[in-house]
Amino acid sequence: MTYPQVNFISSATLDICENFPHTEAMADIMIRNIPAGLYSDLINYAKKSGLTLQQVVIKALENYVEKTKIESWTEARLKRAALPKIKASTIVDAIDSERKRKR
């Protein structure tokens, strides 16, 4: 079996890799204009944690995405909770009255 040639620099890499589960592609992200204080904090945290700067940034992104998922889930849950509560007996009565009306 032959596999297509994949240029891991192309933007289509992630689309191609979805068809081949054994191939994992990673994207490169360049961040510019990082404030000096933030950069210094990241470097210091990496040194104290025994991690590379790359590992610290990836972990921070993972935490941010996870927090965003939780906030979205919580918001959706609160919206559902805010919906008016209807008793089952009210629904049954409405169905019965509609059936009687149609006869």
pLDDT at position 7: 46
Beta strands in 2-102 (DSSP E): none
Tokens of 30: 């360049």
pLDDT at position 42: 94
pLDDT at position 10: 47
Mean pLDDT by 10 residues, the chain (103 residues): 48 53 73 93 95 93 89 82 80 88 79
On whether the CB atoms of residues 23 and 6 are closer than 8 A, the answer is yes
Among candidate residues 56, 58, 62, the one with its CA nearest the CA of residue 43: 56
